[in-house]
Amino acid sequence: MIERLSHVTILVRDQEEALKFYTEKLGFEPVEDAKMPSGDRWLTVAPKKCKDVQIVLQKPSPAVFGEEGAREMIRRVGQSAAWAYKVDDCQRTFDELTKKGVKAISPPVKYPFATEAFMADLYGNPFILMEPPTGK
């Protein structure tokens, strides 16, 4: 029986540069960093206050996916669907990340369900800063 979501994957070209972006720009922490039997690296990060779901920074590997599969996955780097990160203050977080050089796609907009801003990681993968309405 499925219990919960534990990991999500983002495809990266270079694990070290992705790790640097997610830790230094977004303030995430490394959670797991291990060598796999194939020689590849299992590398995960998560927000400091929430490690229930970890982000796997995965460099597509021919050892795991085969030559053609790895090439196809590399072509998809930067084409992920947007993820939403819950924040306590969307405008403040947007301003802080913009000052650190994180690409802004659209500034915060207030909706009935949340205040949202769109940004992108170092490869162009979009993400949403989502501030729930007060009291939620």
- Domain tally, the chain: 2
d(CA 129, CA 87): 6
Q: Please indicate, yes or no, if residue 101 is contained in any of the structural domains.
A: yes
Give the pLDDT score at 80: 92
Residues 99 and 51 grouped into a single domain = no
Give the pLDDT confidence score for residue 66 in this predicted structure.
87
Evaluate whether residue 1 is within a structural domain: no
Residues 13 and 67 in one domain: yes
Q: Which of 85, 77, 70, 76 is nearest to 123 (CA)?
A: 77
Same domain, 21 and 37: yes
Is residue 54 within 8 Å of 98, Cβ to Cβ? no
Helix segments in 28-89, DSSP class H: 62-75
Q: Are 94 and 119 in a shared domain?
A: yes
Percent of the chain surpassing pLDDT 70 = 99
> Domain of 52?
7-75
Q: Which of 71, 78, 61, 86 is nearest to 122 (CA)?
A: 78
Q: Last residue of some domain: 48, 75, 102?
A: 75
- If asked whether residues 56 and 90 sit together in one domain, one would say no
* pLDDT tens per residue across span 62-79: 888 889 999 999 999 999
C-alpha torsion sign, points 80, 100, 60, 29: negative
The CATH number for 112's domain is 3.10.180.10
Q: Which one is predicted more confidently, 134 or 87?
A: 87
**Does 43 map to a domain?**
yes
Residue 38 has pLDDT above 90, yes or no: no
Q: Are residues 36 and 96 in the same domain?
A: no
pTM metric for this prediction: 0.90
- By the 10 Å C-beta count (0-12 exposed, 13-18 middle, 19+ buried), 135 is classed as exposed
Angle at 90 between CA 87 and CA 91, to 5 degrees: 150
Whether residue 108 sits in one domain with residue 60? no
pLDDT score of 136: 57
User: 70: exposed, middle or buried (C-beta count within 10 Å: 0-12, 13-18, 19+)?
Assistant: middle
| Residue 136 resides in a domain | no
